[in-house]
Structure 1
Amino acid sequence: MSASFRQIATVSKGEILQFRTEHAVEQLLTDSRVAVFSETALFFAISGKTHDGHRFLKDLYEKGIRQFVVENEKLVDLSLLPEANILLVKNAVTALQDIAAWHRHLFSIPTIGITGSNAKTIVKEWLFQLLSPDFSIVKSPKSYNSQIGVPLSVWQMRPENTLAIFEAGVSQMGEMDNLATIISPTIGIFTNIGPAHAEGFPSLKEKIAQKARLFSTAEKIIYCKDHILVASYLEENFPSQKLVSWGNSEATKYKIEVEKDGISVSGKTFQIPFRDAASIENLLHCVVLMLELQIEHQPIQNRILGLANIPMRLELKAGRHNCYLIDDTYNNDPEGLKIALQFMQQQDMKRRKVVILSDMLETGLSSHVLYEQVATLLKDKNIDLLIAVGPEIGEHQHLFSQKALFYPNTEALLEQLSGLHLHDSLLLVKGARMFRFERLVQELAQKIHRTVLEINLNALAHNLNVFRQMLNPGTKMMVMVKAFAYGSGSHEVAHLLQYHKVDYLAVAYPDEAIELRENNITLPIMVMNPSPDEFDKMAKYNLEPELYSFEILKVFIEFSRQS
């Protein structure tokens, strides 16, 4: 679906500086580095804090772009763009948003708008996977939830789509009004609230109020009643018939109970492929929405077991000196630290736990309250060593009870890093962008030599869930991890399988199973080639021999009688 250049001029209330040929407008571009060099592309020259799109007009013209939206006439040399259509507007971002809002209102399909402090992208991607069998879906690419990302997402809507899913993020007062107009959701999801970007709002309550502006057109608003501030605001400011609550209390539309092997949603039980609280909460938003769409229990169950992992910013990497790294150098805030520490705990490795942490910026909390919370978190998670970087956290070192080292900046830490002897450790590296902790990760990561076999644990989890989806509910699963998991790394793979709740592991020989036990693998383990002289060792480590002949069965019975 496309628009004409003259239509674009009318919608954006711009002035046509030059018109040569009426090309259709099919792609909207804001980044000259990833441009689609086509006559049907329309480039918006945005004047930003560090870059100005007007600088790239000539280069883009030479590569084939023939349609431009500009906001500074003085920076446009028409002689260099002789065959181009050029539209002058007061503000290129506003024009982009106006065009996207106009485009959105050409469609009357159900549209889901997702906001909140965390998990917008995960919920969106999981909804896409869960609902794709029923709808032709258009969704935000990646984490396109900003003042520019949202209009680019909405522009993708086409006549063949039957459902749209867009996420919206804001960091300043008033920003959501623009995004709400563009998305105009018929269904809203409020994931949660936290301190991220708190500096842009006078209070947490006002932050909730600003995010909730997304739902002005929504017919249903899905939220977790256990998030008290979010629930209170929505229930005070939106009609009750629009609200769809879920949570632990009886006063919800959907009563939730977390069970040993799954979740119960108003009496309907679902098996789930994970157990951490964050994933369960994200999934419940999706399940409640599917129930509201009248999707039956069994299809929901089947699709849950087939969910693919969404690659997030947390990465587990092999490090030097028998270390493992959790790379979370994307940003730093208290809520993100909680998630990263939970991820760290899930690795369940018998290694010293070390956290390398920078100052936390723009949280909206006083520095004393902030670092008191951080210190409590680290203590609760039994962190053995804190390596802190930044002047602010250094001023509050008296709050930290565990062993801790403090450095004024990343450069100071890098100079002394080799002397810290970080051997046999599980390292969480978490820092705000300005500290450039990727330099630390580069120093700590295992150096790559020649041929490398990279094991994608996300792909392994995906494959596991594909097989699960093919099985009848309740069918148990045994996974072979013999021969060092076929060269993939036995205890790393086993930890992933244990986290995803397989029922059994199997190895070839007892020494492989013993190594898994010594690395905190608690799943039942079958030994496929047991030797009678190793039965005592197997009993000590709670291993199960495969009794593959009557002869070995007799020996095992006799061993059991004597034990």
Structure 2
Amino acid sequence: MEGVTFNEAALWCKGTIAAGDSQSALGRISIDTRKIEPGDTYVAIVGERLDGHDFIESAFEKGVRKFVVEPGRVDDKSYYAGSTVLEVEDTTKALGDIARGYRDRFDIPYIGVTGSCGKTSTRNMVWSVLSQKLSTHKNSGNFNNHIGLPLTMFELGSSHQAAVLEMGMSGFGEIEYLASIVRPRIAVITNIGYSHIENLGSKENILKAKLEITSYFDETCTLIVNGDDEQLRTLRPGSYKMIKFGFEPGNDIVCTEVRDQGGMLEFSVNWGAHDEKFSIPSKGMHNVYNAMAAMAVGIECGLGFDEIRRGLLQFENEKMRLDIVEKSFIIINDAYNANPDSMKAAIDFLAGYEEKRKIAVLADMLEMGEFSREGHEIVGEYAAGRVDILVSVGGAAAYISSRARECGLENVVHFEDRQGAMEYLDELVRPGDVVLVKGSRSMKMEEIANHLQEGSSK
């Protein structure tokens, strides 16, 4: 964080300077005493399991002398001596309030990215494209919630010329809160799927929640959406500009041809009077959608097609998101998370290896609520005509395998735990195979991917 004093922060979050020099600079903001350094400001976040105020002594012992705290949380205030302390009603809310104030220090394009799946890949593609012309900031990892996004905002500096910020949610009001901090001028919605349907109840409600990203839009703003999506295609331009992309005629940006060139996808796009060709170093049709979204953001930010082409060629995906490891066989590690839409996209990715034996190792998709059985059966039916062997892991994943059998897939086996699946795969997988490993984050399917990788000498 550049040039923000405690006095300014107090004004933004309606706090009180309880000790020290109000003109002290906040410097780097930290909420984790394990990584804190002298000169940082420690914000004592109160979480569901841990209270950051319990770690103030640890921060103090490491040389920290700047704190944001809630009054009444700490009996021993000896750390106030020689420190600057900002007292606020709610440290988590203050984090957002300070980020909201800091945002206005920078007159740059802010781009928000949300959707049921593909958010992170799209964010990274947008960043890769914009970085060809503009010094662009982005979230680290999954810093896309009410705590991670403010921390991302604090990393903005005077050298940055744009910021692309992923926004996650699990219910109503969460995207609106993040949008109130960022106030994006350009927003991307990748798709509307089943993620968080347990909390929201229907795709229509998920659409409403995602549209909160436009809460602070005006006529100068642009919404970019997947026009092939059954929910997003129904949207009509309002007071702001809208750009739709997809494969179907009628979109503003239409992909007219895709060619798989090994590890590279080449595709052609029509946009009004322009017919352009692009390449991305990835497989999977979903990444063509992501690329079209990044293309639209690039044009809105003043980039030319050649700059966009270079940016897409330099795209790199996150770990455990269709992360390909080539040994004597191919491992597709997509263990970061899962919902029916991302499962189907990953299965399509696997199916692209037409000449190889295709093995899908699929685990539970969580946070599905009453939709759990139906969601898992959708995946099983989808896999039946696209993979050669299906291995399901967990409790609800049994619905994947049972539905796949009903749809005619003969090579199906189910395991309650990862250990059983790993032992089976040790005997099953042979050179030349391609193995997809995917499930919800808490299923820890990366352990299977790592096991396969370590034992791939056969």
Please indicate, yes or no, whether the TM-score normalized by the shorter chain is above 0.5: yes
* Structure 2 residue 443 is matched with structure 1 residue 435: yes
Indicate the residue corresponding to 2:360 in structure 1: 355
Which structure exhibits the higher relative contact order, with contacts defined as CA atoms closer than 8 Å and separated by 6 or more residues?
A: 2
After TM superposition, list the pairs within 5 Å mapping 1:390-405 onto structure 2: 390-394=394-398, 397-401=401-405, 402-405=410-413
1:358 offset after TM fit, Å? 1.9
Indicate the residue corresponding to 1:308 in structure 2: 315
Indicate the residue corresponding to 2:146 in structure 1: 147
* Structure 2 residue 74 is matched with structure 1 residue 75: yes
Indicate the residue corresponding to 1:290 in structure 2: 298
Given the superposition, is the C-alpha separation of residues 347 and 43 from structure 1 closer, same or farther in structure 2, using an over 3 Å criterion? Answer: farther
1:223 offset after TM fit, Å? 1.5
1:108 offset after TM fit, Å? 3.0
Indicate the residue corresponding to 2:200 in structure 1: 201
After TM superposition, list the pairs within 5 Å mapping 1:157-176 onto structure 2: 157-176=156-175
Given the superposition, is the C-alpha separation of residues 83 and 143 from structure 1 closer, same or farther in structure 2, using an over 3 Å criterion? Answer: same
1:92-145 alpha-carbon deviations (Å, 9 max, x no partner): 111000001111123332221221122222223222332234333333233321
Q: Which amino acid aligns with 1:225?
A: G
After TM superposition, list the pairs within 5 Å mapping 1:32-43 onto structure 2: 32-35=33-36, 37-39=37-39, 41-43=40-42
CA contact (8 A) 2:317 2:323 kept: no
Q: Max radius of gyration: which structure?
A: 1
CA contact (8 A) 1:61 1:81 kept: no
Identity of aligned residues (%): 26
1:6 aligns to what SS in structure 2?
helix
CA contact (8 A) 1:270 1:301 kept: no
After TM superposition, list the pairs within 5 Å mapping 1:260-339 onto structure 2: 262-265=267-270, 266-274=272-280, 276-304=284-312, 306-313=313-320, 314-317=322-325, 323-339=329-345
CA contact (8 A) 1:318 1:446 kept: no
Q: Distance in 2 between matches of 1:112 and 1:3?
A: 23
2:188 aligns to what SS in structure 1?
strand
1:269 offset after TM fit, Å? 2.5
CA contact (8 A) 1:20 1:83 kept: no
* 1:343 corresponds to which of 349, 369, 372: 349
Given the superposition, is the C-alpha separation of residues 435 and 144 from structure 1 closer, same or farther in structure 2, using an over 3 Å criterion? Answer: closer
Indicate the residue corresponding to 1:23 in structure 2: 24
Given the superposition, is the C-alpha separation of residues 388 and 249 from structure 1 closer, same or farther in structure 2, using an over 3 Å criterion? Answer: closer
1:417-475 alpha-carbon deviations (Å, 9 max, x no partner): 488554444332223333333443444333599xxxxxxxxxxxxxxxxxxxxxxxxxx
Given the superposition, is the C-alpha separation of residues 310 and 64 from structure 1 closer, same or farther in structure 2, using an over 3 Å criterion? Answer: same
Indicate the residue corresponding to 1:231 in structure 2: 233
Q: Distance in 1 between matches of 2:6 and 2:129?
A: 38
* 2:417 corresponds to which of 409, 414, 434: 409
Given the superposition, is the C-alpha separation of residues 240 and 90 from structure 1 closer, same or farther in structure 2, using an over 3 Å criterion? Answer: closer
Indicate the residue corresponding to 2:386 in structure 1: 381
Indicate the residue corresponding to 2:263 in structure 1: none
Given the superposition, is the C-alpha separation of residues 394 and 134 from structure 1 closer, same or farther in structure 2, using an over 3 Å criterion? Answer: closer
Aligned-residue CA RMSD (Å):
2.9
CA contact (8 A) 2:134 2:162 kept: yes
Indicate the residue corresponding to 1:494 in structure 2: none
Count matched residues. 438
1:330-368 alpha-carbon deviations (Å, 9 max, x no partner): 2232222223223323445634x3322222211356344
Structure 2: segments with no counterpart, 5+ residues: 260-265
Given the superposition, is the C-alpha separation of residues 375 and 418 from structure 1 closer, same or farther in structure 2, using an over 3 Å criterion? Answer: closer
Given the superposition, is the C-alpha separation of residues 397 and 124 from structure 1 closer, same or farther in structure 2, using an over 3 Å criterion? Answer: closer
1:476-527 alpha-carbon deviations (Å, 9 max, x no partner): xxxxxxxxxxxxxxxxxxxxxxxxxxxxxxxxxxxxxxxxxxxxxxxxxxxx
2:279 aligns to what SS in structure 1?
coil
After TM superposition, list the pairs within 5 Å mapping 1:3-18 onto structure 2: 3-18=4-19
Given the superposition, is the C-alpha separation of residues 428 and 82 from structure 1 closer, same or farther in structure 2, using an over 3 Å criterion? Answer: same
Q: Distance in 2 between matches of 1:118 and 1:435?
A: 18
Structure 1: segments with no counterpart, 5+ residues: 450-563
1:34 aligns to what SS in structure 2?
coil
Q: Distance in 1 between matches of 2:450 and 2:101?
A: 46
CA contact (8 A) 1:390 1:408 kept: yes
Structure with bigger helix share is 1
1:157 aligns to what SS in structure 2?
coil
1:166 offset after TM fit, Å? 1.6
Q: Distance in 1 between matches of 2:400 and 2:119?
A: 33
After TM superposition, list the pairs within 5 Å mapping 1:388-537 onto structure 2: 388-394=392-398, 397-401=401-405, 402-413=410-421, 417=424, 420-424=427-431, 425-447=433-455
Q: Distance in 2 between matches of 1:164 and 1:438?
A: 31
